Amino acid sequence: MPETIVGIIANPAAGKDIRRIVSQGRFISNQEKVNTLTRVMAGLEAVGVQRVVFMPDIAMLGAAASAEATSTIPTHILDFTAFNEDRDSTTAAAMMTEMGAGCLVTLGGDGTNRAVAKGCGDVPLLPISTGTNNVFPTMVEGTIAGLAAGIVAQGEIDLDTITAPSKALEVRVDGEFRDMALVDVAVSKERFVGARAIWDIDTLHEVYLARAEPASIGLSSIGSRLLPLDAEDNRGLYIRLGGGGEHVSAPIAPGYIRPVGIQEWRTVEIGKPVPVGLLPSTIALDGERTFTLRQEAVAEVVLTMGGPRVVSIEKALAEASRQGLFRS
């Protein structure tokens, strides 16, 4: 039988952007990330995972977790140069998928998981939240995450019962795919990328949402005050911001709640393109400015079901219990 492998992609930069300065967001140290990784490894070992593969990173989180873990599960760190950029996560996800990983565990925020989604193919993700404005990943104890990821990787349970496909927002420019987001696409009036994180809502012209979660922080929370949409809802939202209309009160950043002016909003259907209404502009994906659009560009955003498969931790553990996988 093939070796049971789980990949772990931990972003040392997650939760350390400019929003920490302008808000009261929590700071998760690299040591705490290492501690979480060691607990994930304990869970993986308990359900029989045979190897853990780590992404290399400048903080050496994987190496530290391997050294500090009490588990005896063999570990391997991928052999490529880390640049402390999104492409590290994408490269790692693609390499882990090629190696036959049955599940990928991520430590990071929406941006980290967006990068991983570009390389993971059909391999399910189990995202642990350590970023800033998180909607896609969830807060979960590392041991529990490891148990669930290991159950998925073992392949003894039908993936359709314990994982689900996710939505994505594709940005197309001049008829060609340019990039994607898992939660939100924002069109900024600023014409430069600069400090990538979006923190000043007044610089935004419009927002496209795949999810509008009432208990979230950031752009998703704005949409949730208009129409809550969770991961299973097959609709998205388009919102044009500005004065002259109604206002909603939303938590834009940790500890920062303010009224947001809404000029127009409507639901968006799967597969139906929505034009970008401001040119030139800068496009932010999952909270980070990513690229600029020129005046003559033809740009649109399309809601799709092209996001990664995501593990339901509760369903995975419950189904494993029903099938007696925890009994000896």
Look up the CATH number of the domain holding residue 236: 2.60.200.30
Distant-in-sequence, close-in-space partners of 301: CB < 8 Å, separation ≥ 6? 169, 170, 171, 172, 185, 208, 273, 274, 276
pLDDT, mean of residues 181-202:
85
pLDDT, mean of residues 71-99:
95
User: Is residue 46 located within the same domain as residue 135?
Assistant: yes
Share of the chain above pLDDT 90, in %: 83
131: confidence class by pLDDT, cuts 50, 70, 90: low
Domain containing residue 121: CATH number? 3.40.50
Distance CA 86, CA 193 (A): 15
According to the model, what pLDDT value does residue 261 have?
97
Helices 86-99 + 110-117 axis angle, to 10:
50
221: confidence class by pLDDT, cuts 50, 70, 90: very high
pLDDT, mean of residues 109-131:
94
pLDDT, tens digit (0-9, with 9 covering 90-100), for 146-174? 999 999 999 999 999 999 999 999 999 99
15: confidence class by pLDDT, cuts 50, 70, 90: low
According to the model, what pLDDT value does residue 24 have?
57
pLDDT, tens digit (0-9, with 9 covering 90-100), for 234-244? 999 999 999 88
Q: Which structural domain range is residue 239 located in?
A: 168-304
User: Is residue 194 located within the same domain as residue 104?
Assistant: no
User: Is residue 140 located within the same domain as residue 34?
Assistant: yes
User: Is residue 316 located within the same domain as residue 198?
Assistant: no
User: Is residue 49 located within the same domain as residue 157?
Assistant: yes
* 208 within a domain of the structure (yes/no): yes
User: Is residue 189 located within the same domain as residue 274?
Assistant: yes
According to the model, what pLDDT value does residue 39 have?
97
Lowest mean pLDDT of 11-15, 64-68, 254-258, name the range.
11-15
- What separation in angstroms does the CA of 171 have from each of 100, 184, 320? 30, 11, 38
User: Is residue 146 located within the same domain as residue 274?
Assistant: no
User: Is residue 12 located within the same domain as residue 158?
Assistant: yes
Helices 313-322 + 142-154 axis angle, to 10:
60
User: Is residue 312 located within the same domain as residue 300?
Assistant: no
pLDDT, tens digit (0-9, with 9 covering 90-100), for 275-316? 999 999 999 999 899 999 999 999 999 999 999 999 999 999
Q: How many helices (H) and strands (E) does the chain have?
A: 9, 17
- For the chain, the average pLDDT equals 93
According to the model, what pLDDT value does residue 26 have?
65
* 328 within a domain of the structure (yes/no): no
User: Is residue 184 located within the same domain as residue 251?
Assistant: yes
According to the model, what pLDDT value does residue 22 have?
53
Q: Is the dihedral of CA 28, 34, 35, 40 positive or negative?
A: positive
25: confidence class by pLDDT, cuts 50, 70, 90: low
Share of the chain above pLDDT 70, in %: 94
**DSSP-derived secondary structure for 228-253:** -B-TT-SEEEEEEEEEEEEEEEEEEE
The length of the chain is 328
Higher-pLDDT residue of 318, 133? 318
253: confidence class by pLDDT, cuts 50, 70, 90: confident
pLDDT at 265 over 70: yes
Does the pTM surpass 0.95? The reply is no
Lowest mean pLDDT of 15-24, 201-210, 276-285, name the range.
15-24
pLDDT, tens digit (0-9, with 9 covering 90-100), for 307-322? 999 999 999 999 999 9
According to the model, what pLDDT value does residue 191 have?
80
Report the domain count for the chain: 2
- Among 176, 191, 174, 170, smallest CA distance to 280 is for 191
pLDDT at 136 over 80: yes
Residue 175 burial class via C-beta count within 10 angstroms: exposed 0-12, middle 13-18, buried 19 and up = exposed
pLDDT, mean of residues 64-90:
94
